[in-house]
Amino acid sequence: MSDAATDLAPAPVKIGFLIYPMVTALDALGPAQILSAVPGAQMHYIWKEKAPVASDSGYTINPTHDFDDCPQLDVICVPGGFGQVDIMNDEAVLGFLRTQGQDAKYVTAVCTGSLLLGAAGLLDGYEASCHWAWHEQLALVGATPKQGRVVRDRNRMTGGGVTAGIDFGLTLAAELAGEDVAKLLQLSFEYDPQPPFVGGHPTKADPATLELSRAFMADGVASMAEAAKQAQANKDKARAAAE
């Protein structure tokens, strides 16, 4: 942007988002908007191949990197989405995350993305958050479910559902570049939210809306539970084989 940003620039920081078919776009692109403005940010949008990837919002985006040419990242972030069920037991994806997770400074997720981190074994013994409707499934993949819009445990940082990615992005920006920069970004992106309705969380929603929302997501919740159990079984099997 302006020279003011350059004046603040610290060392380069490699930030990467996994982008897969039917990802919930905002899970990734909300925090990516914030984090791409962190001085020194080098953004990576990663999938198996560089062909356009369909988001859940009716457009495709083009990965900048594939699993082979993606460098070691400082920050790896896994967004959620209905398409995630199909990769919960995909060894190519899990292997990529495990490799990155070994040396990344921050291993992160938004929404149900934390379940994929768990499937890769990256949340074993860590506290984590998740979209409210899938939150308890964290226990299925070795994580300790903890309520929170943004939950941090050592170098793991995980956000709640979808729009929590904005809060997550600003919180991580403060870690990466300091609180002054994060406050600058919060003001520059005019993050002064005024939700038009009460009820953005089950603790605040009226019963009818909650019931409707559960029905809206029921299939996705059920299929993710199955995939999570399978992923954990595979982890247990690999661990037993290694012993």
DSSP 45: E
DSSP 186: H
Residue 163 interacts with its own copies (CB under 8 A): yes or no: yes
Residue 149 interacts with its own copies (CB under 8 A): yes or no: yes
Residue 22 interacts with its own copies (CB under 8 A): yes or no: no
Residue placing its CB nearer to its own copies in the complex, 29 or 94:
29
Residue 62 interacts with its own copies (CB under 8 A): yes or no: yes
- Compute φ and ψ for 93, nearest 5 degrees: -70, -50
Name the burial class of residue 225, with classes exposed (0-12), middle (13-18) and buried (19+) by CB atoms within 10 angstroms of its CB. middle
Residue 167 interacts with its own copies (CB under 8 A): yes or no: yes
Q: Which stretch binds its own copies (CB under 8 A): 94-102, 116-124, 139-147, 205-213?
A: 205-213
Residue 82 interacts with its own copies (CB under 8 A): yes or no: yes
Residue placing its CB nearer to its own copies in the complex, 200 or 234:
200
Residue 147 interacts with its own copies (CB under 8 A): yes or no: no
| Sheet with 75-78, side-by-side order of all strands | 65-66, 41-47, 13-18, 75-78, 106-109, 156-159, 150-153
Q: How far is the CB of 81 from its own copies (least distance, A)?
A: 11
Residue 207 interacts with its own copies (CB under 8 A): yes or no: no
Contact letters (x/-) for its own copies, 111-140, by CB under 8 A? x-------------------xx--------
Rg (CA), the chain: 18
Q: How far is the CB of 72 from its own copies (least distance, A)?
A: 18
Q: How far is the CB of 129 from its own copies (least distance, A)?
A: 10
Distance of CA 163 to the CA centre of its chain: 11
Give residue for tokens 């012993």.
243
Q: How far is the CB of 116 from its own copies (least distance, A)?
A: 18
Q: How far is the CB of 159 from its own copies (least distance, A)?
A: 9
Residue 180 interacts with its own copies (CB under 8 A): yes or no: yes
Q: Which whole-number Å values give the CA distances from 133 to 198, 209, 218, 224, in the listed order? A: 18, 13, 9, 11
Query: Would you call 111 a catalytic residue per the annotation?
Result: yes
Residue 186 interacts with its own copies (CB under 8 A): yes or no: yes
CA 143/CA 238 separation, integer angstroms: 18
CA 159/CA 148 separation, integer angstroms: 7
Catalytically annotated residues: 111
